[in-house]
Structure 1
Amino acid sequence: MASTSDKVETLECPFCDYKEKNDYQMLLHVEVFHSEGGDSPFAVKDGMEAARQSHAPKRTDSSSSNPRSGRSTPSRIEFVQCPYQCGEQIPADDLQFHTDFHIAEDMANHDAVINVSNNFSTDISNALRNHDEVLSQVQSPVKENRWISSLKDMFSTPILKTGPTFNTKTNIGEVRRLGKTELGPFANEKRMPSSLIRLLEDGVKTTVSNKIGHDGKIVKVEVISNETPNLVPVLARLSVLDKKVARAFYCNPFVRHVAKLPQEGGFCGYRNIQMLISYIRDAAAPGHEHFDNKRLPSIIRLQDMIESAWDQGYNSAGRIETGGIRWTRKYIGTPEAQALLLSLGIPAEAQAFSSKDKTEAYTAMMHAVCKHFEDGTEPSNTDKVVITDKPPLFFQHQGHSMTVVGVEVYTDGRAGLVVFDPMYNPAKQLKHLALNNKLAFSTPTPGRLLKAHRRDDKYLSRYKAFEIIKVNGPV
């Protein structure tokens, strides 16, 4: 029993060295890991078995959606170490795409050429809207009225009827413990290595430099090593320059790209929550008062906030499904991100998309994303690239999450997402342009610089389920 005094007693597991101050968490730990006969009613047998095996077979193409959590649950999965030494353990079936984006990183850093010129306007909106010369060079196979077509009308298949990803109130008796397939290679981890905890608690390296402001005065600027502000306008400029792009819509430029630290491992869910928070904070969106300091909450702090959200009853089934996340490297996803936001009073609408009948999840998801970015835009707007005031989207598919910052439609009629993926750092040249707010540039290879940020139909069509979270913009 926990102490009734002000000081909370630390409970010790009678079967192992696990310690916990929360009596519910201790009860859950014993039930999951030390159930009599080794068969806990809180454990998914297949998932736990996969977590116990060091060499699980590759997953099949089939998958199903868990209606209580919105998590995709394919069969057993094999994780392999990334050969680029980024610290990630990748599902074997995803390794090729993962390494392709590392190659795109390298190409963008070493091969791309960017010319900065004073002949372009440095104003964000003008730089992106004065592109008649670019439009005239695009060889589009479609009719001229394609330029003024509604973005969301570029798909002919109706949007699937979708609803909340999961119920915020779930019958705990129906919830089962997830395994390695859903929670990653450290699904049963009790505590991550102390060195990693110190790294995450200490935060990232910051530097302060003097720069000349717009008024000609010298100002001090703090640069956080894994954060890149002002990247959206730079990517939008690349979409303008890319002749293969017919139209593109981008989100509010206040969102920051937040990259994982070297050798940090699989904390993508947390990094994407940080990206959403960067938008909420800097755009003064609902809930910004919770993040009024200059630093984003650390991963350790975010774990505490999610556990607190569960304590308050928000998507609390996640505690049983994960067995608790504090001090661990277990994957988190849409349920945890939404729980954190809702617990702070921040509106957060979650939607799930799954393949049904002849409509693929990819098509339905793209419909919703296009509708999100184009809502409120004048139908007569013929700009090739538009930066909107729309918030970014938290985006999840099996095993990975990203932040959607834009959508592109190409001249051949295909469409794809533009994302901030915490696994990959922006190219050094793009980071330099963003940090120095330089939009007056040109390059002969815009597609090469955009590749690490693009997720096209070839990539997305591999997945049969997607989830997104929408937050509100400033009132």
Structure 2
Amino acid sequence: MNSTLKAPPLFQTDGGEAALPSLFFIGFAACPCAADAGDRECHCTPFAIMTPQHHHDPEPIIDRCMAITEPDEISTTPTNAHLAGQRTGSVSRSSRPFAASLIPSQPNRIVISQSWKRLLPGRRLRAQQTAGVRSKTKESLDASARPPNSRAGMQSASRLGTLQLGKYAHEEEMPVWLVKLLETEGDLRAGGVIPALKQLLDLSSRTEYAYLCHPDVQHVAKLNREGAFCGYRNIQVLSSHIIGARATGWEQLGDDIPGIFQIQDMIEAAWDRGYNARGRVETGGIRGTRKYIGTPEAQAFFASMGFPCSVQAFKASSEDDNASRRLLSAIERYFQQGAVSSMDNKVRPTLLPPIYLQRPKHSLTIVGLEKHKGGDVQLLVFDPEFQSSSTVVRLAGKATPRRQSKVTKLLEPYRRSATHLERFNEFEVL
């Protein structure tokens, strides 16, 4: 498969067509599951709470543990209520300007950046010191034109603390038991989830239409008790697309998704080469630690492999402004331009990359968008907290149009409604 997709009309400039980036991701602002404001350690159990946090949407499926109780049934019985309010370790800190040129070619960078801005007309988040956001300042947005070895902004970089990096902000190395866990068990991954979702969406009576990303994308979930590694798990999901689609950078990844320690090494190597190098000053280094990572680290990881990355933000400027509505509109435009089948089809597959999504206290990966017959639009996501995707793939084959309750139950872990998103007033786009 070609690593460069044909740019749809929306990506055309006066000079002609612009290449669609091989990887594109979106973010919200920080991730919760191992500690609440750095005070509590995560003790996740199998099929643990998908998105546990203090100010989480009360939707019954999204906020609850998904446990397999019968061979052909998924239960939504809530467990581990004490985990509510914990962080998952993916963070975007607003005080962090992004590094010098993460885009190898200046002309291509400008064309692609302008194209994405038309597609996703987000705003730049103002620099602010909050626990949940870590985005670009205006200076850093302009810095993309600088050479990769630029050290601009390094003088102003300062060491961050537990507010931004979590409970283990000053950790020199993670405990031996966790190293062994990550080395021996690796991760929980499931392939074939996108085709299974297509099958279920076709059967869903409430679905008017839906879009899905590249079918080779795998769902990567967290291990029990691993802690705050959601940012890494979402990087792994995007890496599965690069490998499966043989997109730019797959030669560096090889045929297997990189593990957490490999991702840490690659981020450190990217810093060495000048990609968001201030991240090392601000974090004190991440190799072998449990410090939260965010959009600057994800950007460094992918940009160092040749992906053109820039950060956009959707932020509510007033009570009447709705950042989530603008985000949903932008995501729908993204998938509309990549549809490879007729727009008359109920489910419209694409060959587009998934989207790295970060919002306050959690990060996920957008794999599609769904519109219900009642008019509601919602995201389809892979959440690192949900560990049952392999079971969903198996059970999807048993679903029938007459068993709508089963179809709905299988789809619920992947749905994020507009009501859910409205609880957050800022989102980041990397």
Per-residue deviation at 1:262? 1.5
- After superposition, the C-alpha distances for 1:63-117 in whole angstroms (9 at most, x for unaligned) are xxxxxx99669xx94755667646899875146769954745127867738xxxx
Aligned-partner Cα distance in 1 for 2:189–2:235: 13
Is the 8 Å Cα contact of residues 217 and 244 (structure 2) preserved in structure 1?
A: yes
Map 1:219-258 → 2, pairs under 5 A: 226-258=188-220
Matching residue's letter, 2:294: G
Per-residue deviation at 1:429? 3.5
By relative contact order (CA 8 Å, sep 6+), the higher-ranking structure is 2
The match for 1:184 is: 166
Aligned-partner Cα distance in 2 for 1:256–1:386: 19
Aligned-partner Cα distance in 2 for 1:383–1:89: 31
Map 1:19-418 → 2, pairs under 5 A: 77=37, 80=40, 85=45, 92-94=53-55, 101=62, 103=64, 105-106=66-67, 112=73, 160-162=121-123, 166=136, 167=140, 170-204=152-186, 226-293=188-255, 295-357=256-318, 358-377=320-339, 381-418=343-380
Aligned-partner Cα distance in 2 for 1:379–1:282: 20
Q: Which runs of 5+ in 2 are unaligned?
A: 1-26, 75-118, 126-134, 145-149
State the SS of the aligned residue for 1:419.
Answer: strand
Is the 8 Å Cα contact of residues 395 and 468 (structure 1) preserved in structure 2?
A: yes
Q: Which runs of 5+ in 1 are unaligned?
A: 1-68, 114-157, 205-224, 470-475
Name the TM-score, length of structure 2 as normaliser: 0.68
Per-residue deviation at 1:419? 0.7
Q: 1:95 to 1:440 in 2, by over 3 A?
A: closer
Matching residue's letter, 2:269: S
Pairing 1:451–2:401 present: no
- After superposition, the C-alpha distances for 1:39-62 in whole angstroms (9 at most, x for unaligned) are xxxxxxxxxxxxxxxxxxxxxxxx
Matching residue's letter, 1:173: Q
Name the TM-score, length of structure 1 as normaliser: 0.62
Of all paired residues, the percent bearing the same amino acid is 36
Q: 1:175 to 1:462 in 2, by over 3 A?
A: farther
Matching residue's letter, 2:257: L
State the SS of the aligned residue for 2:324.
Answer: helix
Matching residue's letter, 1:227: R
Q: 1:308 to 1:450 in 2, by over 3 A?
A: same
Per-residue deviation at 1:176? 3.3
Matching residue's letter, 2:344: T
Worse-matched range after superposition: 234-243 or 384-393: 234-243
Matching residue's letter, 1:413: G
Matching residue's letter, 1:355: A
Q: 1:249 to 1:181 in 2, by over 3 A?
A: same
State the SS of the aligned residue for 1:348.
Answer: coil
Aligned-partner Cα distance in 2 for 1:263–1:246: 39
Matching residue's letter, 1:195: W
Q: 1:411 to 1:177 in 2, by over 3 A?
A: farther
Q: 1:401 to 1:98 in 2, by over 3 A?
A: farther
Q: 1:324 to 1:385 in 2, by over 3 A?
A: same
- After superposition, the C-alpha distances for 1:146-168 in whole angstroms (9 at most, x for unaligned) are xxxxxxxxxxxx96444695335
Matching residue's letter, 2:248: P
Q: 1:394 to 1:344 in 2, by over 3 A?
A: same
Per-residue deviation at 1:441? 5.2
Q: 1:462 to 1:320 in 2, by over 3 A?
A: farther
State the SS of the aligned residue for 1:237.
Answer: helix
Is the 8 Å Cα contact of residues 315 and 336 (structure 1) preserved in structure 2?
A: yes
